[in-house]
Amino acid sequence: MPNAAIKCPQCGSERLYKDGLRYLNNNINVQRWLCRDCGYRFSEKKALQKSLSGSLNIASVISSNCQGSREAPSGAPSARKAVQTLVKVETRTQEKAAGATDAVQEKILDFLWHFNKQGRKETTIKDYSQKLRCLAKRTNLLDPEAVKGFLAKAPISETSKHNYVAVLATFYDYLGISWLPPKYNVTNKIPFIPTEQELDLLIANTSKTLSALLQLLKETGMRVGEALRLKWTDLDLERKTIRITPEKGSLPRILPITEKAVAMLNRLPKKSEKIFPSRNVAQTVFYRRRKQLASKLSNLRLLKIGFHSFRHWKGTMEYHKTKDIVHVKGLLGHRNIQNTLIYVTIDQALFHNTTEEFHVKTAKTVKEACGLLEVGFEYVTDMDDLKIFRKRK
C-alpha cells in the first residue's frame, strides 16, 4: 500500500513496499522500503537519524545502505573490501556451523578476490560464494573426501551436484588441493514456454520500469543481463532499433523494437546512463509481483515464468513463424546452432497439429543452391537436372 508520509528519494514516488526491518546495534529497528516504480531500496530516514543521534552523515548512511543506488558513496572501499561486501549477507550475525572456521572463510575470500582480479562477473562471484559458503557450513570444505561424502547424501538433484563439483574443482585448483571429483549427470530439460497472454499479464501488472524491461525481453529475446546493461545511447528512436552488447559468448546484434516498446521506454526517467536498475532490484520487484498475481489469479504457471522464459518464448514463436533456424540463431545471438535447435523440438511438440505449408524453389547451379541454403531452404531431391528446395511458410 502507498505510504503518503514517505516518498522514494530516487524518483519521489509514494508507491512503496515494506521491505523488512534493518536491525541496528542499539536495539532500534528501522523500516526498509522498496519503491514499486523505480526499484530503489532505502531505509526510513527519521529512524536512522534517531539511532545515529547526529554522529554520522545521514546522507552517506542512506546511500551506502540503498541496494538500488547506482553511485558509490564517497570514500568507497577498496577493491578487496568491495568483494568482501559483495559476498556478505545483510542479516544479523549468524552462528558459525561446524567446519565454517575463520581460516576457511579467509581462503574463500582470497579465492573470490582472485576471481575478481581475473575479471569474472559479479553474478559469477556471487554464485561461487553462495555455493562455497553453503558447503563450509555443513562440512569440512578443505577435506575433499568429506565434501564428496556430504554431496553423495545431499537431497539435491544430480544437476545441482554437478554444479557444486564444478565450483569445487576451481576452488581446489586455486588452493593446490588434489582430488578425484565425483561424476554427476546433468539432466537436460525442455524449458517452460508460457503463453503470450501470461507474458502480457505480467507486463501489464508491474511498474513502468519493469514493464518496459519485460516488453523488451518479449520483443527481442535478449538475455536479461544484456537488457540490464543497455544504455540510453543504445536506443535509436528514429530507426526503432536497439543495440545489444552480448554476454555469455553471444554475438552482438541490432534488433528492431515496436512503437509500444519505444513509448514505454520514453516514459522512464533518464537519471542514469543505464536504462534499467541493477539485477537484484529488478529480480526483487519481479518475483514479488509475480507471486502476488499467481495467488490472486490462482495460476501457478506464473510462478514458473522467469526472465529467461521471455527469451525461450521468443525463440519458439520466431521459429514457428519463419521455420528458419538460421534466422532464429541470429536473433538470439547464438554462436553455435546446436543451442538453437531446441526450438525446433519445442515447435514440433507445441504445434504438432498445425498443417505445414512450404515455399518451393529450384536451383540449376551450385551458386543458386548455396543462396537458397543460406536463407533457410532445405534440399529435397533432384528432378529434370534441377535441385528442388523447400522452406516452411
DSSP lists the bridge partners of residue 242 as: 235, 255
Angle between helices 122-138 and 79-87 in degrees, nearest 10: 60
Q: Which single residue is written with the C-alpha cell 529450384? A: 362
pLDDT digits over 172-182, tens only? 999 999 999 99
**Cell output for 39:** 526499484
Residue 125 CA to residue 224 CA, distance in Å, equals: 18
Whole-angstrom CA distances from 255 to 217, 267, 311 are: 11, 21, 14
Q: Is residue 76 classed exposed, middle or buried when 0-12, 13-18 and 19+ CB atoms within 10 A define those classes?
A: exposed
pLDDT score at 273: 94
Hey, what amino acid is at 352? H
Q: How does DSSP assign 258-326, residue by residue?
A: -HHHHHHHHTS---SSBSS--HHHHHHHHHHHHHHHHHHHT-GGGGG--HHHHHHHHHHHHHHHH--HH
Kindly report which listed range (44-48, 280-284, 361-365, 373-377) carries the lowest average pLDDT score: 44-48
Q: Where are the domains of the chain?
A: 1-75, 79-175, 196-311, 358-392
Specify whether the CB–CB gap between 7 and 20 falls below 8 A: no
Percent of the chain with pLDDT over 90: 43
State the fold for domain 196-311.
hpI Integrase; Chain A (1.10.443)
Hey, what amino acid is at 221? G
pTM: 0.63
Residue 93 CA to residue 28 CA, distance in Å, equals: 16
Compute the 3-state secondary structure of the chain and give helix, strand, coil in percent, each to the nearest 5.
Answer: 50, 10, 40
Over its C-alpha atoms, the chain yields an Rg (Å, rounded) of 26
Hey, what amino acid is at 104? V
Specify whether the CB–CB gap between 201 and 293 falls below 8 A: yes
The pLDDT of 314-340, averaged and rounded, is 92
pLDDT score at 94: 41
Residue 254 CA to residue 102 CA, distance in Å, equals: 49
SS3 state at 350: helix
pLDDT digits over 254-265, tens only? 999 999 999 999
Please count the CA atoms within 13 angstroms of the CA of 236 that sit on its side-chain side: 10
**Cell output for 118:** 581475473
Residue 68 CA to residue 89 CA, distance in Å, equals: 16
Q: Which single residue is written with the C-alpha cell 526450438? A: 343
Residue 166 CA to residue 273 CA, distance in Å, equals: 36
Q: How does DSSP assign 18-78, residue by residue?
A: EEEEEE-TTS-EEEEEEETTT--EEE-HHHHHHHHTTSS-HHHHHHHT-TT--SPPSSPPP
Q: How far is CA 120 from the centre of its chain?
A: 16
pLDDT digits over 81-135, tens only? 555 555 554 333 344 444 456 788 888 988 999 888 888 877 788 889 999 999 9
Q: How far is CA 366 from the centre of its chain?
A: 44
**Cell output for 164:** 557444486
pLDDT digits over 206-261, tens only? 999 999 999 999 999 999 999 999 999 999 989 999 999 998 888 999 999 999 99
